[in-house]
Each structure stands twice: as C-alpha cells, then as structure tokens.
A and B are shown apart, each in its own frame.
Chain A
C-alpha cells in the first residue's frame, strides 16, 4: 500500500499540506511531551492534589474516567479511513487484505499514542515499585487493550450509525452524571475502577480479559467491514433533507434572505458546524481568566481578553474565513441579482445576531460578579460596532478557497496570513481604549469608553457598509478568481 505514501507526496497542494502537517506534528509532539511529563510526575501531581490519599487508589479510580472521556472525543474527532480504498476494490486484492489495511492504518492516530505516554511511565515507575514487575506488565497490557478496545469500538459505532452530535451530547451527559454521582458518593465509578485495577495487582492474568474484549471488538469490526465493503455503504447513510425556512429573517428583506442562506450554510456543512460547536466550548473560557482577586481589584485589563474572545467568538471563528465559506458558489452569487451593499449588510446582520446570542449566553458569569456583566456588555458593543468591521475588512483580502464538506478540527485548508493578522487589531484595540483609564485607576470609565466607542461605531454602520462595499467591488474579481481555483 505504498500508494498512500504517493498520494501524500504527489498531492496537488503538497507544499501547503506539508507545512500544515509540520505544524500539526509540532503540536502533537508538544502534547505528547506534556503527556510524558505528566506521566513521569504523576505521582507528585496526585500527591499534591489529593494529599494524604493513596496514590495508586486515585490513579486506579481515574483510569475508567479517562477512557470514557477519550471514547467520546474519539467519536467526535477520529476520522474513518474509508474513501481512499475505492480504486482498490476492483483489483485483485483480497477483501481480507483491504480490511486489515484499513484497520491497521486507522491505528496511527494521536489518540493511541497519548495513553502510552501518559500512563506507561507511571506504571513502570510507581506501580512496578510497589507491587512488582508482573503487576506492572498486567497494567500495561490492560491499558493498551482498553485503548484498542476504545479505538475499534469508536470506529465500529461510527460506521454503524451516522455520527450525530446528539449521540455525543448524551454521552457527555452520562459521564457528567456519573461524575456527579461519584461526587455525592451514591454510585462510585472510581471505586469500581479502583476495585477492578487493584484486583489486577492480585491476579495479574485478569489483564487478558481486557485483551479478549479488545479482540472481540476487533473481530466484530473486521466482520462488519468485510461484509459491507462497498463504497456506498462505507460512507454514512443519508437521511432525507427537508427545505427549511426562517421566518425571522423575512422582515429584513433581501438582506435577511442572504443571512438566512448563510445560516443554512453554517448548519448544513461539516466544517462550519464544527467551528461553531468549538466556539460554544469557548464560552467556558472565562472560568480560566476570571479570578476572584481580579474581580475584586477591578483589573478589567487582565480579563478583557477573555471577554472579547467569548462575545466575539463567532466573528473570529467564522469571520476569519469570511467570503471563503461561499467560495464554491461565489460566481453564482455574483452573477445573480444581489447588490454588493445587501451582501455586506447581510454579514453585519449575521454577526450582530450571533454576538447577541453568545453575549446573552455569557451573562451567566454575572453570578460571579455583576462587574463581569458590565464588561461583557461593553465588549459586546465594541464587537458588533467595530470588531465586525475589522473582520469584514480583512475578508476582502482572503482569496483562499474552502471546501465545506471536509471536517473542521485540525483542518488547515484556507488558512493564510490574513487569519493571523486579523486577530491582532481586533483584540488590541479595546485594550488601547481601556488602558489610559485603567492606568489612572478609573476602571469603570474605561469600560464606559469601550462601550461608547462601540456605540459610536455602531451608529456609523452605514458609513462602514459604504466603505466596505466600495472595497468589495474593487476586490471582487480577485476574490472570485481565487475561489475558482
């Protein structure tokens, strides 16, 4: 199967692919090093977080949780290795070989490396020290078996049922519920996990049970694949699509029509959907930044970054590829009866609605302090007032085509320099406005200044629309040409 190798090296966008891959590699290596570090110092970490408790008990308790969470992550992120086999199906290669190849190839993923780096150092340093080499080996076998069990089960489920977000949400709820039950000491998964793994210490051969489980799933997966090795069936089953209508947008006329079109774009394509789901995750970002002492001292400067990010996440995540989302039908939009002003206005409308929704969502930080609400509203005004203008300005210089149907996580297609430059002014500007007030110990005046700036720029929207339209008309040939490639 050297062809796989060719397909990478001879691919059309080799250079871009290569750079993206190197960047990915660096990330992966970084994560693995972190994992390795955690693995080696796990004993110390556990002692620090849970002082006075048995290190091994805690470790044992955590293992099942780890695999449950990883399982969910796999279902969402792990790719099915399918499409590439199509040309080989008719050649003289036995089905078994193809299936084995598919299964083997799927093994090379980040998810399978992580546990090795995370757990093995701990097992061989701490566990073999306390309960002997044989137990350590049993642990290692169990971990690897569980990992592979997870791996093939995730693939199996993904093949059987179309991957649905609904499914994952249920999974997340279950894990959270189990954790809650654990916390209130009703049913304890960590005790189950602990009991399971400590019995390993007494009967090391129990490890083989997990291996057997893994083999069962592997065989089930291979069987299923072998009997369903048709390209049509390997790809996901399609449900009937219905035409939908968003009456809310009708009141905005043609602009609303375009905004509704774009909303459908977001909801019906894999890549845009992933980036939106990711942005909801960022709503929790504040918990990292908002510290009681910062709130106490009104040090908004340190917290504003998170606020800009959260209330503007849609603009940043979705807006960075602005216009490129529509690259596949850009010609059609241009040749139809759409004037550039409505086109730009529709983008503004979409940004405003999204920012409003997300901001409302982030208001729950108000439970931490009312000051945060104030800050969020100020930054929200900035985001819809001026942030959106910056995003749309840079959109005019983004000429890279984007394929909507490809997955979004770790997808580097369409990423260029503009995306990186975009973030700078967007985030730096509110700081600059706030800074003089903050330095002179007038934090609330600073927030008011940011909010005022937002309001003024919002009131100037018509001017921005006109300027952006002019720029768009000038740039449109270049954009269209870039998208056609």
Chain B
C-alpha cells in the first residue's frame, strides 16, 4: 500500500470541499479521478502534495504523514498547474534544475527526456524561448515532462490532457501506459471520460468532496460514467 487517506477533511468558509473517511491506493495502480468542477479533485491533490493543510485527518505516503516529513518528495513527481513552472527559465534549464534537485547529471536528464521528444514535437527544446513565452499546451507538456523526469514511484497529474492537441493526447496516453509497467502508481484527474477509462485501471468518482464510486475499469465503465454524468 502506497497511499492511505484517513478521515481527510477540508472546509472553505463552511463548505466542505473534501471529505474522505478512508481511501487506500496500492503500488502500481493507475487511478483516474473524475468529477465535475468543484468536486474537490485539485484540493485533494494539493493536500496529497502538502500544498494546503488538511483541516482534519491526514494522508500517509509509504506510512509517513506527508505534512510532517519531506521524504515523499524524493519519489513523487507531480504537475498540477502553471504554478509549477519557473517561467523565466528556458525549458532545458527547468529540466536541469529539477534534475539537479534529484541528483541527476545533465546527461541523465537528456536521456530521460528522450521519450518526450516525440511529444514536444520540436516546439519546446532548443527554441530559445523562456517557458513564459510558450503556448499553454507546450507549458503543459513541460510540466508533465518535469513531473515524470525523476521516474517517480508516485505520479500525480491534474488535467494532463487539457490544452493538448489530439495527437499529443494519444502520445501522452501511451507514455502513461508505458510508465505503468515500471511499478509506478499514477493519479490522474480529468474531465475527459474517454481518456481516463482508457488509461486507468481504477476510477474514483468524486462529488462535492465525497467519494461516490470507486471501482475497477471494465468494458462497461465508460457507459456507466456517461450515464452518471448525464443524469
């Protein structure tokens, strides 16, 4: 078991945004988090990454409370939004910076970026641009690559398919699937039910901060989800 959530609660001005009594995530699972806007997906991710403080309860990563120790940082890669990108660096510098934080040599970083060359589509590396001058989609790609750069045991991506063109969406899906084989636990939130059901083997459906459904994916999953959301 990699992640354990206990009695987790977050309240903003008397509105409960996240309320998860118990949730366990095992090693190697690929989990899709779905739900409408305001369901609490991003808030939950932020608590998992210790960016906001839980009002009640805690999240344990490998048995250690994430709010009390920095240990999870060495095996967790994440990308939530543009608040991750150091915008005045070139993409190369950004990757090297992340690499250096994790004791990767420059050569190492280059090698690990290889799988992304296809996704970058020649628009990101060696373009002589700062990240702030890239388009939204390309920024998104930089962020995701940065998160996966350290070959994390736990990968957390918020809306990774947003702002990407169809080709890249498919390539990214393949990349995430390849990642699966390597004992990685992946958490993805998305509005796109197709992508999530394709990539993930377990779906968690959130509504108003609470887990409504939690099940393994099969052929009927997509229909089930579509039915739920159209109701």
Contacts and interface: CB of A to CB of B under 8 A. Distances in A.
Contact of A332 (B84, B92, B100): B84
A331 B93 CA distance: 18
Question: In the complex, which of the residues A335, A404, A480, A483 has the most CB atoms of chain B within 10 Å of its own CB atom?
Answer: A335
B122 interface: no
B212 interface: no
B17 interface: no
B101 A264 contact: no
Contact of B51 (A242, A244, A331, A404): A331
Contacts of B76: 335
Nearest to A272: B88
A403 to B, nearest CB: 11
Given A238-B133, A241-B129, A264 B51 contact: no
A334 B50 contact: yes
A269 B88 contact: yes
B128 interface: yes
Interface residues of A, number: 33
Given A241-B90, A404-B88, A338 B101 contact: yes
B85 A240 contact: no
Contacts of A243: 90, 92-93, 96
Contact of B73 (A238, A336, A477): A336
Interface in B51-101: 51-53, 70, 73-74, 76, 78, 80-90, 92-93, 96-98, 100-101
Given A242-B128, A264-B93, A329-B85, A336 B98 contact: yes
Given A336-B98, A405-B132, A264 B88 contact: yes
A242 B80 CA distance: 27
Interface in B25-55: 49-53
Given A241-B129, A335-B78, A265 B100 contact: no
Contacts of B98: 336
A282 interface: no
A327 B224 CA distance: 41
Interface of B is mostly: loop
A244 B89 CA distance: 9
B157 to A, nearest CB: 12
B105 interface: no
A334 B51 CA distance: 7
A86 to B, nearest CB: 17
B135 interface: no
Nearest to A327: B83
Nearest to A338: B101
Interface in B121-138: 128-130, 132-133
Contact of A480 (B52, B86, B97): B52
A261 to B, nearest CB: 6
A261 B86 contact: yes
Contact of B49 (A264, A329, A335, A405): A335
Nearest to A240: B128
Given A254-B100, A477-B53, A268 B88 contact: yes
Nearest to B87: A328
A330 interface: yes
Contacts of A269: 88
Interface in A197-250: 238-244
A340 B89 CA distance: 22
A238 B78 CA distance: 31
B174 interface: no
B39 to A, nearest CB: 19
B120 to A, nearest CB: 16
Interface in A408-426: none
A339 interface: yes
A337 B84 contact: no
B128 A241 contact: yes
Given A264-B88, A335-B51, A480-B51, A329 B101 contact: no
A441 interface: no
Contacts of A404: 87-88
Given A254-B100, A480-B51, A339 B70 contact: yes
Contacts of B96: 243
Contacts of B80: 331, 335
B87 A337 contact: no
A425 B78 CA distance: 40
Contact of B97 (A244, A261, A328): A261
A481 interface: yes
A332 B88 contact: no
B16 interface: no
A258 to B, nearest CB: 9
Contacts of A330: 83
Contacts of B108: none
A257 interface: yes
B111 to A, nearest CB: 18
B83 A331 contact: yes
A14 interface: no
A241 B130 contact: yes
B102 interface: yes
A160 interface: no
B101 A328 contact: no
Given A254-B100, A254-B101, A332-B85, A268 B130 contact: yes
Contacts of B85: 329, 332
A264 B101 CA distance: 17
Given A239-B128, A329-B86, A334-B50, 10 more contacts: A241-B130, A243-B92, A254-B100, A261-B89, A268-B88, A268-B130, A269-B88, A337-B150, A477-B53, A484-B83
Interface of B: 49-53, 70, 73-74, 76, 78, 80-90, 92-93, 96-98, 100-102, 128-130, 132-133, 150
Which 7 pairs show the lowest CB-CB distances between chains A and B?
Answer: A240-B128, A332-B84, A331-B83, A268-B88, A337-B73, A477-B53, A335-B49
25 contacts: A239-B128, A241-B90, A241-B129, A242-B90, A243-B90, A243-B93, A257-B97, A261-B86, A261-B97, A328-B83, A328-B87, A329-B84, A330-B83, A332-B86, A334-B50, A335-B76, A335-B84, A336-B98, A336-B101, A337-B74, A337-B101, A337-B150, A339-B70, A340-B70, A405-B132
